Amino acid sequence: MDEVHAAPVELRPSPVDPATVPHNSLKGSIIACAVVCWVIAVAFVGLRFYTRTRVVRVLSLPDWLILGGVFVSALQSAAFIAEAQYGLGSHVWDFDLASTYIPLQMSAWMAILAYNISLLFVKASFLTLYLRIFSYQKAQIACKIILGLVVFSGLWTVVISATACIPSRPFGTCPLHVSTDFLIWLVPLPQIWGMKMPKAQKITLIVLFSFGFLVAFISIIRVIFLVDLHKTADPDFSWAGAKFGYLSLIELNAAIVAACLVTLKPLAHKLWPTIFESEDSVEVAGPNPPTIGTQGAALHNRSHSIEVTGKEELQTWEMSKTDVEKSSTGSTVS
């Protein structure tokens, strides 16, 4: 998106009486938020890659996209740490704004650019994953349309962020950004509910995918706060902008975590097999479309009723047709 931290009308703040204004700082908490959020995201991406390489033994495009997303999110965290060093989170009268204003705005520009690039990777990872696991024609069409919107809006926001000196309509991409957030989380729910699988497994999947709605709500709060920040033009912008920093860091890294959660069932099955004993046998009838847990077996026999063992279910969780073929030989795909 094309937002920037609200800048004061003049570089130097109005004279204030030091005894009558607050002097607390959020600098430490901004740095802590940037580091902790990114470390958590990296941990979940690590678990995802462990699951995909050691348990499922298949790597595919969605995995590489989320890896790109977490790498770029490191730049966002670094940029917010730099912003904190230059004044973000401090009151405008507590630092020399005239000397730090340019590096502060440069750091803000980098944070916004990294946010948009990383979010594009994360959304594309979700949608390409959906294309691999949902074979229903309507779901495929919906995913492709949303992916097109995500790529278009993502590239547009990256361009206008990278060329921040070019005038652009404030918040022009916010509605599309938030809309694609909700569409991404909504698409899998009816598909999962219509699958032939145990109710407990179905509910578990819905809960995992629904975690993304939390990310979408954070995005809405972030946009509302951003609009309010620009409308009020708070002279103490460096202090007020800290909340925007928190929300941006939490939203992006929570999206990365959500993208990884839906791929970790094989690892959970391996670590706690007794919890999933009730799911070890799933019957798949020929007329029904393959499910996430039974897709691999259904590929071999669509016209007969077959049993999928826990081991087979573990191997074929969220795998595409190509994945199933490749994983049978223990190879990886990109």
pLDDT for residue 94: 80
* pLDDT tens per residue across span 184-231: 888 888 878 777 777 777 887 888 877 878 888 888 898 888 888 777
Question: Which residues, in sequence order, are CB contacts of 297 under 8 Å at separation 6+?
Answer: 284, 290, 306, 307, 308, 312, 316
81-120: burial string, b at 16+ Cβ within 10 Å, e else? bbbbbbbbbbbbbbbebeebbeebbebbbbbbbbbbbbbb
What is the rounded distance in angstroms from the CA atom of residue 235 to the CA atom of residue 230?
11
d(CA 143, CA 151): 12
Pairing of strands 306-308, 282-284: antiparallel
User: Residue 241 above 70 pLDDT?
Assistant: yes
Q: Can you list the domains of the chain with their CATH numbers? A: 25-193+200-265 (1.20.1070), 270-324 (no CATH)
The pLDDT of residue 324:
41
User: Is the per-residue pLDDT at 139 higher than 80?
Assistant: yes
pLDDT for res 83: 94
Question: What is the pLDDT, as a whole number, of residue 299?
Answer: 39
Per-residue pLDDT for 321 more than 70?
Answer: no
pLDDT at residue 51 in the model:
95
Say if residue 14's pLDDT is above 50. Answer: yes
Please report the pLDDT score of residue 16 as a whole number.
66
pLDDT at 136 exceeding the cut of 90: no
List, for residues 20-49, the tens digit of each pLDDT value: 777 788 999 999 999 999 999 999 999 999
Question: Which tens digit of pLDDT belongs to each residue from 264-296?
Answer: 988 988 888 876 655 544 433 333 334 343 344
The answer for 233, left when phi > 0, alpha when psi is -120 to 50, beta otherwise, is left
Give the tens place of pLDDT for each residue, 102-127. 999 899 999 999 999 999 999 999 99
Q: Rounded to whole angstroms, what are the CA distances from 266 to 232, 287, 320?
A: 49, 26, 15
- Model confidence pLDDT, tens digit, residues 246-270: 999 999 999 999 999 989 988 988 8
Q: What is the pLDDT of residue 178?
A: 82
Instruction: Check if the beta carbon of residue 26 is closer than 8 Å to that of residue 242.
Output: yes
Give the pLDDT band (50/70/90) at residue 173. low
